[in-house]
Amino acid sequence: MSIADFVANPLSYTKGHYVQFYGANGSAAAGGTGPAAAGLQLLNTYNNWAGAWQAKQFGPAAGLFTSFRFVESMEKSDSSWGHRVGKKALHSVTCFPVTADQGIRFLPWEADHVTFMEIDANARTFFTGPLQGCMIILGFCAATGNWWAFHANRNNAGGPNNNAMKTAMTMDTVQLIGATVSIRHAARYGSEYTDQGFVFGQRSGNSWKFYAANLAIAAGGGFQMTVKQLT
């Protein structure tokens, strides 16, 4: 199976493999999945909260788009990450910028921020960066027919179970962006995912379906990968 199989049908691929998004805000050379590595640029920054957190809007940089590749698989354990290769290892995905649009839209994360983006009409698949306590909220704008995605992190207050705080951060952000966005879906730590995961979406015709992928240590060792549709 190839990265093209994952991009073409992330639902099927994730159900059959141990998949994770690797990295945080590192450079492309370091295997990170930050904005530059995904061919993105910062469009707007909002800082209305006395420095406790910020909101950042991202979109494609001029002439650039997102592509994916697999990196050397990284073994997941309760306490550390180490390198491992082979059929039963993790399929670790990272980004790099390209000049041809493959329909991939990727939303990076940043500590103590709400990162967000509009999923434009040319998108075919959508993915978030890695989740380990963050919240993803998805909303629909009827005026444009496009979805908006929000990735809320608040490490500096309340820990991973502060879902009410992250919801409030997202709603504050929605009020600032100048688009009428109706919230439809959420992926919360402890509910839609419980360990380490990511959110992805697939478009069929003009309709989108979104899913939360969860990677956990299975009882007795090994991995357990589950996928839950967001409703």
pLDDT in tens, the chain (231 residues): 688 999 999 999 999 888 888 765 555 555 566 798 899 999 999 998 998 999 999 999 999 999 998 876 555 543 344 434 344 677 888 888 999 999 999 999 998 999 999 999 999 999 999 998 999 999 999 999 999 999 999 988 877 789 999 999 999 999 998 889 999 999 999 999 999 999 999 999 989 999 999 999 888 777 899 999 998
Contacts of 12 (CB under 8 A, 6+ apart): none
Q: What are the residue ranges spanned by the domains of the chain?
A: 3-229
Residues in the chain: 231
Biggest alpha carbon–alpha carbon distance for the chain = 50
Contact 3, 93 (CB under 8 A): yes
CA distance 143 to 199: 24
pTM score above 0.85: yes
Residue 88's pLDDT is what? Answer: 62
